C-alpha cells in the first residue's frame, strides 16, 4: 500500500465527518475575503473615492460582525477537527493493537517494546496531523482564487507581486521536503532508539548492577541521546527555517506592495482602500501558504511514519490499519461485531479444529491472550474501573477475535514434521513428530538450546510453523494460535509473566472465580503454604512483574494460573529453573494424580518429571534424537544418560 492510498483510506474512514471538517475549515479560510472588502470600502469612504450608503460606522459594525462570525466558525472547526483527528488515531492504534495481539505470541512485535511504544505514540500522531492539515487546502485554493480575481480586477501588476512570495515559498518547500523527510526519518529512528534504551535499562536494573555495567550503560545512553540531539537539531532547524521563510515572505510582499503603491497612487490609479485590501489579503495568502507548507511537511512525515507502522505489521497487509472498527465512541453500529461474532460462532461450531480456522483469529495460548487483555483491562491496583472492564474490551476487539473454540474431547494430538527456524539464527526445530494421547504424561528433554521451548511454542502456535501440521483427533488444526487456548489447552511459559495486581487477579486473569477453584489451583501448584506467609494472602499486591514474590513463587503462581483453567492439554515449559527438587517433585505428583484425562506435555530435565513420564522425547540440535520410556532411553541414548546422571553430579 502506497502512502497516498493509506492517506485516502484514512479520509474515507469517516467521510461525512471529514467533509464537515473540510467545509468548516474552507469557510474559515475564505471568510477573510469579506473583511478585506470592508476594509477597502472603509478607507475609500474616508478618502472620498467611494460612498458607502450606510456610513463608516456601519462598515465598522460589519467588520466586528465578520470577526465574530469567523470566531464562531473557528470554534466549530476545532470541534470537527478534534473529532476527525482523534477518531483516526484511535482507529489506527486500535487496529495496530488488535494485530499485535493476533500475531504468534512469541513474535508479536518485531522491535523492542520501547520502539513499539514510539510507533504507537509518535508515528500515529504524525499521521493524524497530516490528515488534519489536509482540510486547509480547499479553503486555501478558494481564497487564493477569489482574492486573485478581485485583486486582478483592481491591478494585475500588483497582483503578480502579491503572489511572488507564494511562488517563492512553494518552491522552497518543494526543494526542502526531500531533506525534511530524510532528517525526520533519522530523528524518529534516533528517538525510538532512546525510548528503547530507557525501557531496556528500567527492565534490567538488577542485571546492570550485578554486572557493574552502570557506566557503560549510561555511556551508551549518552551516545544514543547525543545522536538524537544531532538529528533533532537538523530536523527542527530545517522545519523552522521553512516556517521563517513562510512568515517573512509577508514582510517581503508588503514592502514590494508599498513601493509600487506609492508610484501608482501618485499617478492617481490606486486608492488607499486598494492598498489596504492588497496588504490585508497578502497577510492571509501568506498564512495560508504556511498551511500548505505545514501540510506538505506533515505529509512527508506521515510517509516515514507509515513505513515504520507497516514494519510493525510484519508483512500483513497495510489495509488492516484502516479497517473500520468500533473505537469505543458513540453507539456501536448493528451488524458490526455482534452479528459478525454470531456468524463466526456458527462457523466455528461445536465440531472443533477445522471449523475454528474459519473465525477471525485470536492470538496466543492462555499465557498471551488473557494476559494481554487483562493487562489492558486491569489497572495497577484494585478492581478495574467500570469503563475498562474486560466485557468492554471484548466489545472493542471482538471484530477481530474469534470466540473461543469448543473442540471435542481430546483422544489424540499429533504433530507431524513440525518445523520452525528463527530467521536471525537459522536455529529452531526441524521435522518433529509427536503423539500425545488423553491422560498421557510426555516429557521433552535435551541439552540447553536443543529446541525444547521452540517445540512447545510452535506446537501451540506461539511461533508460526514453517512446515508440518498439527491434528486434534485426526482433524487438522488450521490455526493453532486460535485453537490452543482454554478449554483446549493451557500453558506455563519458562519465564512467568506477572502483573502489578493482586495475586488472586494474577491467577484468575479474567477467569470467573468458581468456589474452590483458586484454592484447588494453588494446591496443585504447591503454592498453598506460601499464601499464609504473604502479607494479605491472595489479596497481596505482587508489584510490577511480580517483584514481591520469589522466583519460585512467581513460577508457581504462573502454574496456578494455568491450572485454574479447565484444559485437556497442559503444557509446562521448564519449571525447574526456579523450583527446588522437593517442591517440583510434589508438583508433578499432584499433577499426575489430578490430571484426569488431560494430556500433559512437560519440558524438563529433572528426574522428578522424567520418572512420571510414560513417554520421553530427547531433542538435540532441533531434532528428535531418541524417544521412549526412561528405562529404554537409559539403555539406548547416551544423551539421555548424561541428562539423567547430570542431575546427580551437578
Ligand atoms: N529469539 C530467538 N532468536 C534467534 N534464535 C533463537 C531465539 N530463541 C532461541 N533461539 C535459538 O534456537 C535454538 C533453540 O532454542 P530453545 O530456546 O528452543 O532451546 P531450549 O532447548 O528450550 O533451551 P533451554 O534449555 O535453554 O531453555 C537455540 O539454538 C537458540 O539459540
**What pLDDT does residue 527 have?**
86
Beta partners for 183?
Answer: none
- Percentage of the chain beyond pLDDT 70 is 85
What is the rounded average pLDDT for all residues in the chain? 81
Query: Any idea which architecture 410-485+604-650 has in CATH?
Result: 3-Layer(aba) Sandwich (3.40)
Distance (Å, rounded) from C-alpha 576 to C-alpha 242?
62
Ranges 284-293, 380-389, 572-581, 606-615: which has the least confidence: 380-389
Q: Is 475 helix (H, G, I), strand (E, B) or coil?
A: strand
pLDDT higher than 60, residue 404:
yes
* Cβ neighbours, 10 Å, residue 432: 24
**What pLDDT does residue 459 have?**
95
Of the residues 427, 430, 574, 617, which should be mutated to test ligand 1's pocket, given the most ligand atoms within 8 Å of the CB?
A: 427
**How far, in Å, from the CA of 457 to the mean position of ligand 1?**
11
Distance (Å, rounded) from C-alpha 525 to C-alpha 62?
80
Closest ligand 1 atom to the C-alpha of 107? 1
Domain boundaries, the chain: 3-322, 338-397, 410-485+604-650
Distance (Å, rounded) from C-alpha 531 to C-alpha 522?
9
Task: Provide the strand spans (E) within 534-631.
Answer: 569-573, 599-603, 615-620, 623-628
pLDDT in tens, 500-536: 888 899 898 887 888 888 888 888 888 888 888 888 8
**How far, in Å, from the CA of 421 to the mean position of ligand 1?**
10
pLDDT in tens, 587-633: 888 887 777 788 999 999 888 888 888 899 999 999 999 999 988 99
DSSP state for residue 478 in the 8-state scheme: S
**What pLDDT does residue 377 have?**
35
Q: Of all protein residues, whose CA lies closest to atom 11 belonging to ligand 1? A: 427
Closest ligand 1 atom to the C-alpha of 423? 4
**What pLDDT does residue 165 have?**
64
Q: What CATH number should be reported for the domain whose range is 3-322?
A: 1.20.1560.10
**How far, in Å, from the CA of 454 to the mean position of ligand 1?**
7
395: pLDDT confidence band, cut at 50, 70 and 90? very low
Please report the sign of the dihedral spanned by the C-alpha atoms of residue 510, residue 500, residue 548, residue 107. Answer: positive
Cell of 131: 490528515
Which one is predicted more confidently, 382 or 13? 13
**What pLDDT does residue 398 have?**
57
Q: Of all protein residues, whose CA lies closest to atom 29 belonging to ligand 1? A: 449
Strand order through the sheet with 428-437 = 428-437, 412-421, 467-472, 475-476
Which one is predicted more confidently, 386 or 327? 327
Beta strands at 599-603 and 441-446: parallel, antiparallel or unpaired = parallel
Q: Of all protein residues, whose CA lies closest to atom 30 belonging to ligand 1? A: 449
pLDDT in tens, 425-458: 889 999 999 999 999 999 999 998 999 999 999 9
DSSP state for residue 494 in the 8-state scheme: S
Average pLDDT value for residue range 15-27: 94
**How far, in Å, from the CA of 560 to the mean position of ligand 1?**
25
**How far, in Å, from the CA of 209 to the mean position of ligand 1?**
26
Average pLDDT value for residue range 256-272: 84
**How far, in Å, from the CA of 451 to the mean position of ligand 1?**
6
Q: Of all protein residues, whose CA lies closest to atom 25 belonging to ligand 1? A: 448
pLDDT higher than 50, residue 372:
no
Average pLDDT value for residue range 367-386: 37
Distance (Å, rounded) from C-alpha 72 to C-alpha 24?
10
Cell of 138: 480547499
Which of 6-10, 340-344, 550-554, 642-646 is the most confident on average?
6-10
**How far, in Å, from the CA of 619 to the mean position of ligand 1?**
12
* Cβ neighbours, 10 Å, residue 516: 9
Distance (Å, rounded) from C-alpha 289 to C-alpha 299?
15
Q: Cβ neighbours of residue 314 under 8 Å, at least 6 residues apart?
A: 103, 107, 110
**How far, in Å, from the CA of 615 to the mean position of ligand 1?**
23
Distances (CA, A) of 163 to 32, 45, 92, 356: 17, 27, 39, 64
Of the residues 107, 429, 445, 451, which should be mutated to test ligand 1's pocket, given the most ligand atoms within 8 Å of the CB?
A: 451
Cell of 527: 503454592
Q: Cβ neighbours of residue 287 under 8 Å, at least 6 residues apart?
A: 250
**How far, in Å, from the CA of 455 to the mean position of ligand 1?**
10
pLDDT in tens, 28-62: 999 999 999 999 999 999 888 888 888 888 999 99
pLDDT in tens, 96-135: 998 888 887 777 788 877 788 888 888 899 899 999 989 9
**How far, in Å, from the CA of 600 to the mean position of ligand 1?**
22
Please state the separation of Cα 149 from the chain's center in Å.
Answer: 48
Q: Of all protein residues, whose CA lies closest to atom 24 belonging to ligand 1? A: 448
**How far, in Å, from the CA of 428 to the mean position of ligand 1?**
6
Closest ligand 1 atom to the C-alpha of 494? 27
Closest ligand 1 atom to the C-alpha of 455? 18
Q: Of all protein residues, whose CA lies closest to atom 23 belonging to ligand 1? A: 449
Burial class of residue 57 in the structure, from the number of CB atoms within 10 Å of its CB (0-12 exposed, 13-18 middle, 19+ buried): exposed
Q: Cβ neighbours of residue 205 under 8 Å, at least 6 residues apart?
A: none
Of the residues 428, 456, 491, 619, which should be mutated to test ligand 1's pocket, given the most ligand atoms within 8 Å of the CB?
A: 428
Residue 186 has, within 13 A of its CA and on its CB side, a CA count of 18
**What pLDDT does residue 399 have?**
59
Q: Of all protein residues, whose CA lies closest to atom 14 belonging to ligand 1? A: 451
Average pLDDT value for residue range 533-545: 82
Closest ligand 1 atom to the C-alpha of 603? 22
**What pLDDT does residue 78 have?**
94
pLDDT higher than 80, residue 181:
no
Which protein residues touch ligand 1 with a CB less than 6 Å away?
422, 424-425, 427-428, 446, 448-454, 494, 574
DSSP state for residue 328 in the 8-state scheme: S
* Peptide bond preceding 138 in cis form (omega within 30 of 0): no
**How far, in Å, from the CA of 452 to the mean position of ligand 1?**
8
472: pLDDT confidence band, cut at 50, 70 and 90? very high
Which one is predicted more confidently, 253 or 550? 550
Amino acid at each position: 500500500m502506497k502512502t497516498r492510498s493509506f492517506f485516502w483510506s484514512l479520509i474515507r474512514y469517516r467521510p461525512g465527518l471529514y467533509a464537515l471538517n473540510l467545509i468548516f475549515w474552507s469557510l474559515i479560510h475564505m471568510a477573510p475575503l469579506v473583511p478585506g472588502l470592508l476594509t477597502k470600502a472603509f478607507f475609500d469612504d474616508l478618502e472620498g473615492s467611494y460612498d458607502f450608503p450606510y456610513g463608516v460606522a456601519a462598515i465598522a459594525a460589519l467588520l466586528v460582525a465578520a470577526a465574530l462570525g469567523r470566531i464562531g466558525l473557528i470554534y466549530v472547526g476545532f470541534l470537527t477537527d478534534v473529532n476527525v483527528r482523534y477518531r483516526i488515531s484511535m482507529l489506527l492504534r486500535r487496529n495496530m493493537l488488535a494485530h499485535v495481539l493476533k500475531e504468534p505470541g512469541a513474535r508479536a512485535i518485531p522491535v523492542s517494546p520501547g520502539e513499539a511504544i514510539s510507533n504507537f505514540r509518535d508515528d500515529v500522531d504524525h499521521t493524524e496531523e497530516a490528515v488534519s492539515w489536509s482540510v486547509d487546502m480547499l479553503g486555501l485554493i478558494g481564497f487564493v482564487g477569489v482574492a486573485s480575481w478581485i485583486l486582478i480586477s483592481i491591478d494585475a501588476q500588483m497582483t503578480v507581486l502579491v503572489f511572488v512570495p507564494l511562488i517563492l515559498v512553494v518552491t522552497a518547500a518543494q526543494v526542502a521536503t526531500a531533506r525534511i523527510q530524510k532528517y525526520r526519518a533519522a530523528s524518529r529512528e534516533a528517538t525510538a532508539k532512546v525510548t528503547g534504551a530507557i525501557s531496556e535499562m528500567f527492565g534490567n536494573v538488577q542485571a546492570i548492577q550485578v554486572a557493574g555495567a552502570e557506566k557503560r550503560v549510561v555511556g551508551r545512553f549518552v551516545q544514543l541521546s547525543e545522536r538524537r540531539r544531532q538529528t533533532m537539531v537538523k530536523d527542527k532547524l530545517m522545519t523552522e527555517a521553512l516556517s521563517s521563510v513562510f512568515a517573512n515572505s509577508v514582510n517581503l510582499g508588503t514592502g514590494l506592495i508599498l513601493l509600487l503603491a506609492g508610484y501608482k497612487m501618485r499617478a492617481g490609479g490606486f486608492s488607499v482602500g486598494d492598498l489596504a485590501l492588497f496588504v490585508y489579503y497578502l497577510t492571509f495568502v501568506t498564512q495560508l501558504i504556511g498551511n500548505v507548507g505545514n501540510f506538505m511537511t506533515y505529509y512527508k512525515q506521515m510517509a516515514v511514519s507509515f513505513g515504520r507502522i507497516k514494519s510493525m505489521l510484519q508483512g500483513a497487509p497495510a489495509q488492516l490499519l484502516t479497517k473500520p472498527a468500533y473505537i469505543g465512541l458513540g453507539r456501536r453500529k448493528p451488524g458490526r461485531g455482534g452479528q459478525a461474532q454470531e456468524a463466526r460462532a456458527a462457523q466455528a461450531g461445536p465440531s472443533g479444529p477445522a471449523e475454528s480456522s474459519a473465525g477471525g483469529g485470536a492470538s496466543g495460548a492462555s499465557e498471551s491472550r488473557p494476559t494481554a487483555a487483562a493487562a489492558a483491562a486491569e489497572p495497577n491496583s484494585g478492581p478495574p474501573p467500570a469503563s475498562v472492564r474486560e466485557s468492554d474490551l471484548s466489545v472493542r476487539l471482538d471484530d477481530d477475535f474469534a470466540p473461543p473454540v469448543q473442540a471435542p474431547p481430546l483422544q489424540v494430538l499429533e504433530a507431524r514434521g513440525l518445523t520452525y527456524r528463527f530467521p536471525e539464527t537459522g536455529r529452531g526445530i526441524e521435522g518433529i513428530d509427536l503423539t500425545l494421547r488423553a491422560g498421557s504424561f510426555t516429557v521433552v528433554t535435551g541439552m540447553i538450546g536443543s529446541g525444547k521451548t521452540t517445540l512447545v511454542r510452535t506446537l501451540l502456535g506461539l511461533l508460526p510453523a514453517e512446515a508440518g501440521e498439527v491434528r486434534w483427533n485426526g482433524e487438522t488444526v488450521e490455526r493453532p494460535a486460535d485453537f490452543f487456548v482454554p478449554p483446549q489447552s493451557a500453558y506455563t511459559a519458562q519465564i512467568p509473566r506477572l502483573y502489578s495486581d493482586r495475586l488472586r487477579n494474577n491467577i484468575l486473569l479474567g477467569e470467573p472465580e468458581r468456589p474452590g477453584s483458586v484454592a484447588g489451583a494453588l494446591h496443585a501448584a504447591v503454592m498453598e503454604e506460601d499464601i499464609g506467609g504473604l502479607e494479605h494472602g491472595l489479596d497481596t499486591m505482587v508489584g510490577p512483574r511480580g517483584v514481591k514474590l520469589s522466583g519460585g513463587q512467581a513460577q508457581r503462581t504462573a502454574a496456578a494460573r494455568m491450572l485454574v483453567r479447565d484444559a485437556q492439554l497442559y503444557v509446562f515449559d521448564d519449571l525447574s529453573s526456579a523450583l527446588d527438587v522437593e517442591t517440583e517433585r510434589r508438583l508433578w505428583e499432584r499433577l499426575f494424580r489430578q490430571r484426569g484425562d488431560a494430556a500433559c506435555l512437560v519440558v524438563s530435565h529433572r528426574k522428578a518429571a522424567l520418572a512420571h513420564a510414560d513417554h520421553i522425547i530427547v531433542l538435540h540440535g532441533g531434532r528428535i534424537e531418541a524417544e521412549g520410556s526412561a528405562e529404554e532411553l537409559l539403555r539406548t541414548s547416551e544423551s539421555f544418560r548424561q541428562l539423567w546422571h547430570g542431575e546427580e553430579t551437578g
